[in-house]
Amino acid sequence: MRIEQLQAFIAITETGNFGQAAKKCGVTQSTISRQIQSLEQDLGLPLFHRSTQAKLTLGGEKLLPRAQRICQEWGKASQECADLMAGRQPELCIAAIHSVCAHYLPPILQQFCLDYPEVQLRVTALGSDRALKVLRDGLIDVAIVMNNRFLTTSAEIELAVLYEEQVDVLMAADHPLSKLKKVPLLELVKYPQVVFKDGYGMQRLVQDWFANQNVQIKTAMELNTLDAFRGVIRQGEMIALLPHKALIDSYNDSTLAIRPIAQSEITTGVNEQRELENVLTRQVVMVTTSDRLMVPPIAHFYKLVQNMGKSIDLKTSQLVSR
């Protein structure tokens, strides 16, 4: 059974004969006849009494209201798909990590609103793991998160690397580590640390990095907002490892200090030194699905973010040098 057969069936009931129905459907009368014959074969019963005027049989009367509903739903679905591909969608939903929402997205969101004023933007700050989950569940269109190759390698996933940034140490302005220009790993582990809650990529990144260095992190507290991090860090000897863009609001705060992590460490043995296995950085990526990139507003937003990403490395370098 095809939708054209049902449309032909309805056209005949509305016009009363096959010839008028053919004109209404824009096909020949022989085509209409073949469509009805095929439909009758599929159903196993006649739909019309063949006479001077096409009159519904009992089977045709049973089919008519359902055929009308099917064709109405098909029309709505076809129009919605056409609107989608034409860029006529009511909203664009984005989830991003907190620092991206605060410092990276605002100019992009403003430009998108100018380009697509009829599309309502819905932006939510989420941890990386949660953002990727709601993307997989179809609840958002684009996620901007820390890269996690275990969650972003599906065949339908489209991923663009935006930037990579170094992770630094946030501490109170009078913290003992603030006297150092760079903080050695063996000094880091002496102090209790504030980390992001489970489900945030930064928690996993920091824990894995310490594990790779064969040292134990002293986790004292888990939080999920940057304001909470700053508030707790000001109070005493706790420290936090946070990326540059998450620290932008902290550089001008006289109650806080930021120091980079030293890249070499003293190990056991006299005068023996080794390089850290890797410098602690995070990679921020934009993730969507290939089918969503066929939709004009989503593709446009994706392009705007990519273009912004091309200049972010320069801005990050300037920030590091401050």
**Which pLDDT belongs to residue 193?**
95
Task: Please give the average per-residue pLDDT across 206-216, as a whole number.
Answer: 89
Higher pLDDT among residues 131 and 318, named by residue: 131
User: Exposed (0-12), middle (13-18) or buried (19+): which is 217, by Cβ within 10 Å?
Assistant: middle
Q: Model confidence over 189-202: pLDDT tens digits?
A: 999 999 998 878 88
Judge whether residue 311 has pLDDT over 70. no
Regarding pTM above 0.85, the answer is: no
Asked if the model's pLDDT at residue 141 lies above 90, the reply is yes
The pLDDT tens digits for 240-277 are 999 988 999 899 999 999 999 987 554 545 445 455 55
Which CATH number is 3-85's, of 2.30.110.10, 1.10.3210.10, 1.10.10.10, 3.40.1180.10? 1.10.10.10
The two three-digit tokens of residue 313, written as one number: 């490395």
According to CATH, the topology of domain 164-281 is D-Maltodextrin-Binding Protein; domain 2 (3.40.190)
d(CA 112, CA 205): 32
Which tokens in the block code for residue 91?
């909203």
Nearest Cα to 141, choosing from 106, 95, 97, 176? 95
321 pLDDT tier (thresholds 50, 70, 90)? very low
Sorting pLDDT into bands at 50, 70 and 90, what band is 89? confident
Residues of the chain with CATH 3.40.190.290: 164-281
Count Cα neighbours of 113 within 13 Å in the Cβ-side half-sphere: 10
* From-to residues of CATH 3.40.190.10 in the chain: 91-163+284-320
**CATH 3.40.190.10 at 91-163+284-320, yes or no:** yes
Burial of 97 (0-12, 13-18, 19+ CB in 10 A): buried
- CATH 1.10.10.10 range(s) for the chain read 3-85
d(CA 17, CA 78): 27
Q: Residue 259, SS3?
A: strand
Report residue 95: phi and psi, to 5°: -125, 135
- Around Cβ 50, how many Cβ atoms within 10 Å? 10
The pLDDT confidence band at residue 14, using thresholds 50, 70 and 90, is: very high
